[in-house]
Structure 1
Amino acid sequence: MRQPSELHWAWVVAPITFVTLVASAAFRSVPGVLMDPLHMEFGWSHATIGFAVSVNMVLFGLISPFAAALMDRFGIRVVVTCALVAISVGSGLTVFMTASWQLVLCWGVLVGAGSGSMSMAFVATVVNRWFVARRGLVSGILTAGSATGQLVFLPVVAWITTHHGWRTAALTTAAAALVVVPLVAVLMRNHPADLGLRAYGATPEDPGPAPHESAGSSAGRALRVLGDAARTPVFWVLAGGFAICGATTNGLIATHFIPAAMDHGMPPTTAASLLALVGLFDVGGTIASGWFTDRVDPRYLLLTYYTLRGVGLAVLPSLLAPHTTPGTWVFVVFYGLDWVATVPPTVMLCRERFGPGVGAIVFGWVFAAHQLGASAMASGAGVIRDRTGSYDPAFYLAAGLCVIAAVLSLSIRRSRKAAPAPVPVTAGTW
């Protein structure tokens, strides 16, 4: 296969993937902003609206490994296009809702399935197929796409809702997903072999996955991969650590930071602004983590991330106050840098231990554990708050879980085939 003398098409696929992730993340900004308007117009309880979000969260994780298998069978372009359409339809149909079950169908099922098809398994699939060199860096940049989308659309959705109503905001997020479809259809490619190329930075020792490796039912393949992976202790270690990652990010901080801050007298607008800043610093932290993953043992990175995250959660109750303090700003910056920094090293470990052919599907199942952990903590922290009158025990519990995740990460044995240094790039490729 030929190698290009100038721009490798991987550097076209990667930006398209990033833009797609940004657009698909638009809806992630919607539930928190639209919860009160829906409650006021329809009289639905916060529990009912929260149930729709919970369904979305669970599907967001469980769809991921099946989407990775579908990408192997039908190609990235087809699956991503269908997922974007599902998000657009699910968000757009909400303007016609009259009953709460329709909210669950639109927000929970359609948007959950669509966004789950473009979650972290999508990132792993693109990285594993198109890159040998710079895998960690690219996975970090693409992972940041989701956080970037939420950061970009959160103030936009809030402003539109305030000035033009929640229906206009829902249609805006629908349009954001739909407008990316032509880019995916025209520029996305399923595999380097489609263009007569090898993966970027491919070498004889690591040529990247061969095209069209899978056959048979995509759902069946995803389940077979799970069955094989589940027989290995390393899968449960990775899944357990990532479940704790989800519990301490999406489940606890993303869901309960604002009400926890309000318990200490902080205005909700201030708390929301702090949470938005967490998303801002998340972008830099994830890209930096990808850069480090190309150079540092990913187990040590996970050990560091989980340990520092546990320290942050342990001190958070003492930092919350009616007004922001220097300690509050330190926590926001620190926790933002650490938010999804765990993704690039976890993707790398899945690929090393299970191979490039099924590594993305295995990571899809590991990511499903992430979302299940997030869902459990989202509910559990609320129960703790109701029974104790404080979120402090939930923060301390999460800090302890981070210690467990750090120990689990260090216990992973790296594959003997793992390269300790970045793969050199062939001269003349870019």
Structure 2
Amino acid sequence: MRHTTRHPRTLPGHRAWWTAAVTAATIVVAGAFSTLPGILQSPLRGEFQWSRGAIGLAASVNMVLYGLTAPFAASLMDRFGVRRIVGTALGVVAAGALLTTVMTAAWQFTLLWGLMVGLGTGALSMTLATTVANRWFTTRRGLVTGILSSAGVLGQMVFLPALSWTVDHHGWRASLAAPALAALAVLLPVRFALGDHPADSGHRPYGNPAFVPKPPPVPGAARRALTVLRDAARTAPFWPLATAFAVCGASTNGVMWTHFAPAAHDRGMPVTTASTLLALIGVFNVAGTVVAGWLTDRFDPRRLLAVVLTARGLLLVALPTLMSATVTPPMMAFVVLFGLLDLATVPPVIALCRTFWGEDSAIVFGWASAAHQVGAALAAFLGGVARDAFAGYDPLWTVLGAACAAAALLALTVRRTPGAGTTRQGRKAVAAPGTRC
């Protein structure tokens, strides 16, 4: 077996943790871009007189492409390596954001923000986290998945208050330049510290007593992504899992990061205050996702997914009664609880994908993420249309709360059936540690 020496063994500790750290930094930067549509609505409407629907369309295109890019990015990482794909994606994201600062028409916003930033961030999504966790970790996969999944929200938490302040004091163009420069800055650690595979530096996956050879590059990345989708779609677990994850996207990314700040502003709350509340949701999101990863290693991920979705639905139904012009104790309770639940769905969904689809689980999770983002896009677009038509967001929260309850029931229907988890090549999936399905 041929080994490369691109990354000599000079770093302390296991190489897997350094790779996870660089991956987390990359996802943190990518997460900053998801915060911007909500805080850009008012300045873009003020300068260009665009409707909320037009702005929501760009956000929707971004979210759809973010999701659709994920499974193809997973295949491309198998073909060309993680480092190369991540570096290219960071460059595309930075270019799209910087070009957005010189746009003059709504279609340009859709092209630059929706298309370029959507494609770039899609390659830096939770599929990246899944690929790294699967390749570099045999034990602690659930925990690492939770940490990496929470990194995107950590990016929102870190950047959102600063970007809101930048919009107020230096204009919306400066707020776009800041995360673009951060994306360029993280290229250096990606180039020199992000490992493609443990075998490249002679390491074993963390917790694995045996050396794992690096598989050969898989040609036909696009064809493979579509083939995996076809085969997964023929199995019983795929559709309820993908549908439940679509509702997850609608009830988090779709409304909270796009419409929470405008909805709070409708009640008289300053946008900066609302953005700070979103950042606090991010604080608790990190804790909630890490804990969810730890729980996924120990309990049935189907039941964990159902509990999270049910609790989230109840919170969304209660939200219209909690919003006001000022920050109240009930509103703070919502922020804490919603933060703990926001991305807690991700570790159990990844664990279920690994259980049913084995070596193809990163690609299948990419397709589930595509469903997640389609749900988010529909909520982002229809939320803006509803606000334009009905002058309020209250019905939206109730509808999404009911959808979460239905998704929780779907999660409980996910069962292994004959043939589920068998890939096109006949490989059998292996249950993740702690998974009982």
TM, length-normalised to structure 1: 0.90
Q: CA–CA distance in 2 between the matches of 1:363 and 1:109?
A: 22
Match of 1:302 among 305, 316, 321: 305
Q: Deviations over 1:21-68 (max 9, x none)?
A: 112223223333333334444444443333222211111111010000
Match of 1:117 in 2: 123
Structure 1 segment 227-306 matched on structure 2, within 5 A: 227-306=230-309
Match of 2:229 in 1: 226
Q: CA–CA distance in 2 between the matches of 1:366 and 1:185?
A: 29
Q: Which moved more, 1:385-394 or 1:176-185?
A: 385-394
Please say if 1:363 is aligned against 2:365.
Answer: yes
Return the letter of the residue paired with 1:136: G
Match of 1:373 among 372, 375, 385: 375
Instruction: Give the Å deviation of 1:263.
Output: 4.1
- Residue pair 1:90, 1:110 contacting (<8 A) in 2 also: yes
Relative to structure 1, the CA distance from residue 93 to residue 260 in structure 2 (aligned partners, 3 Å threshold; closer, same or farther) is closer
Return the letter of the residue paired with 2:127: A
Structure 1 segment 350-429 matched on structure 2, within 5 A: 350-355=353-358, 357-386=359-388, 388-413=390-415, 417-418=430-431, 421=434
- Residue pair 1:297, 1:420 contacting (<8 A) in 2 also: no
Please say if 1:56 is aligned against 2:69.
Answer: no
Relative to structure 1, the CA distance from residue 156 to residue 387 in structure 2 (aligned partners, 3 Å threshold; closer, same or farther) is closer
Match of 1:69 among 65, 75, 88: 75
Q: CA–CA distance in 2 between the matches of 1:418 and 1:110?
A: 36
Q: Which moved more, 1:270-279 or 1:369-378?
A: 270-279
- Residue pair 2:242, 2:371 contacting (<8 A) in 1 also: yes
Please say if 1:20 is aligned against 2:23.
Answer: no
Structure 1 segment 142-291 matched on structure 2, within 5 A: 142-202=148-208, 211-212=214-215, 215-291=218-294
Identity %: 50
| Secondary structure at 1:136 match in 2 | helix
| Secondary structure at 2:237 match in 1 | helix
Match of 1:11 in 2: 17
- Residue pair 2:85, 2:123 contacting (<8 A) in 1 also: yes
Instruction: Give the Å deviation of 1:147.
Output: 0.6
Q: CA–CA distance in 1 between the matches of 2:147 and 2:130?
A: 12
Q: Which moved more, 1:125-134 or 1:87-96?
A: 87-96
Match of 1:428 in 2: none
Q: Which moved more, 1:188-197 or 1:44-53?
A: 44-53
Return the letter of the residue paired with 1:303: A
| Secondary structure at 2:219 match in 1 | coil
- Residue pair 1:252, 1:381 contacting (<8 A) in 2 also: yes
Q: CA–CA distance in 1 between the matches of 2:188 and 2:120?
A: 17
Q: CA–CA distance in 1 between the matches of 2:343 and 2:226?
A: 26
Instruction: Give the Å deviation of 1:119.
Output: 0.5
Return the letter of the residue paired with 2:281: V
Q: CA–CA distance in 2 between the matches of 1:160 and 1:396?
A: 33
- Residue pair 1:26, 1:176 contacting (<8 A) in 2 also: no
Please say if 1:315 is aligned against 2:318.
Answer: yes
- Residue pair 2:261, 2:275 contacting (<8 A) in 1 also: yes
Return the letter of the residue paired with 1:418: A
Aligned residues: 417
Return the letter of the residue paired with 1:64: A
Q: CA–CA distance in 1 between the matches of 2:47 and 2:272?
A: 22
Instruction: Give the Å deviation of 1:158.
Output: 2.5
Instruction: Give the Å deviation of 1:214.
Output: 5.2
- Residue pair 1:139, 1:290 contacting (<8 A) in 2 also: yes
Q: Deviations over 1:149-203 (max 9, x none)?
A: 1111112222333333333332222110001111111111111111222211125
Match of 2:350 among 331, 344, 347: 347
Instruction: Give the Å deviation of 1:400.
Output: 1.5
Q: CA–CA distance in 1 between the matches of 2:385 and 2:45?
A: 22
Q: Which moved more, 1:65-74 or 1:244-253?
A: 244-253
Question: Could you list the runs of 5+ residues in structure 1 that have no partner in the other structure?
Answer: 423-430
Q: CA–CA distance in 1 between the matches of 2:267 and 2:90?
A: 40
Q: CA–CA distance in 2 between the matches of 1:374 and 1:405?
A: 14
Relative to structure 1, the CA distance from residue 39 to residue 388 in structure 2 (aligned partners, 3 Å threshold; closer, same or farther) is closer
Q: CA RMSD in A?
A: 2.4
| Secondary structure at 1:88 match in 2 | helix
Return the letter of the residue paired with 2:282: G
Instruction: Give the Å deviation of 1:396.
Output: 2.0
- Residue pair 1:24, 1:176 contacting (<8 A) in 2 also: no
Relative to structure 1, the CA distance from residue 299 to residue 187 in structure 2 (aligned partners, 3 Å threshold; closer, same or farther) is same
